Amino acid sequence: MAKKKQRGNGAGTVYPRKNKNGKTIGYRGSYFTQDGKRRYVSAKTKTEAQSALREAMTDADRGLTFDAGTMTLGEYLDRWLPNIKDTVRQRTWERYEQIVRGHIKPGLGHQKLKDLTRTHVKGLYSKKRECLSPRTVQYIHVTLHKALKEAVADNLIPRNVAEEIKPSKLKRKEINPLTPETRPCT
């Protein structure tokens, strides 16, 4: 009989997740962080779960524990806005608030913060590009980038997905001086 491979203390645990019928639908790994909290990782296969568990435990040993949990982007932005009020000018804060309320939350507010991807952000930009000026899309990018940068600093997410995205370039309109024929009615 083959001997079962033993794992040492503190190596985490990987176990199957089963549905009502007892069929294995995936694997879950659990480990404890230095502050005593139990954390979980999930994957489709046992090997992937073990790999994700090793990576998560390595990050935890380095002090990198990402704890966004079930928080959505909208919930985070609602928390972020009041916290930056004293760090920016009043008019800047008002503009951030308008952009969050009018553009970011309706487009991506339902998305979980930890599951937000570049594809989601690029989709928002392209959707907004259809009906807004390029400058407004740049304002949306700057606001979202700044908010996600704070989320990274707060150890809620591992990286800023808006970091490498470039919004559309501004296209300068050609200036046509008024002539007596093109002058608007007075």
Written as one string, the DSSP assignment of 93-115 is HHHHHHHIIIIIHHHHTTSBGGG
Q: What is the pLDDT of residues 122-158, one digit of tens each?
A: 999 989 888 888 888 899 999 999 999 998 888 788 7
CB 95 within 8 A of CB 123: no
Domain assignment present for residue 6? The answer is no
Residue 92 sits in the same domain as residue 141? yes
Number of neighbouring beta carbons within 10 Å of residue 116: 22
- The better pLDDT of the pair 92, 168 is held by 92
Residue given tokens 């591992």 in the structure block: 158
Pairwise CA distance, residues 31 & 52, whole Å: 11
Q: Count the residues in the chain.
A: 186
Q: In this model, does residue 107 exceed pLDDT 80?
A: yes
Q: Angle at CA 181, nearest 5°, toward 176 and 182?
A: 35
Domain assignment present for residue 41? The answer is yes
| SS3 of residue 118 by DSSP | helix
Domain assignment present for residue 162? The answer is no
**At a CB cut-off of 8 Å and minimum separation 6, what does 93 contact?**
81, 84, 85
Q: What is the pLDDT of residues 14-39, one digit of tens each?
A: 888 888 888 888 888 887 776 677 77
Residue 95 sits in the same domain as residue 56? no
pTM exceeds 0.85 for this model = no
Domain assignment present for residue 8? The answer is no
Q: What angle separates helix 90-99 from helix 73-84, to the nearest 10 degrees?
A: 170
- What confidence score (pLDDT) does residue 173 get? 66
Q: What is the pLDDT of residues 57-86, one digit of tens each?
A: 776 666 555 555 678 888 889 989 998 888
Kindly report the CATH number assigned to the domain that includes residue 93: 1.10.150
- What confidence score (pLDDT) does residue 128 get? 87
Range of 115's domain? Answer: 73-153
- What confidence score (pLDDT) does residue 142 get? 92
Domain assignment present for residue 165? The answer is no
- What confidence score (pLDDT) does residue 186 get? 45
Report the percent of the chain where pLDDT is more than 70: 81
Q: How many domains does the chain have?
A: 2
Residue 49 sits in the same domain as residue 80? no
Domain assignment present for residue 144? The answer is yes
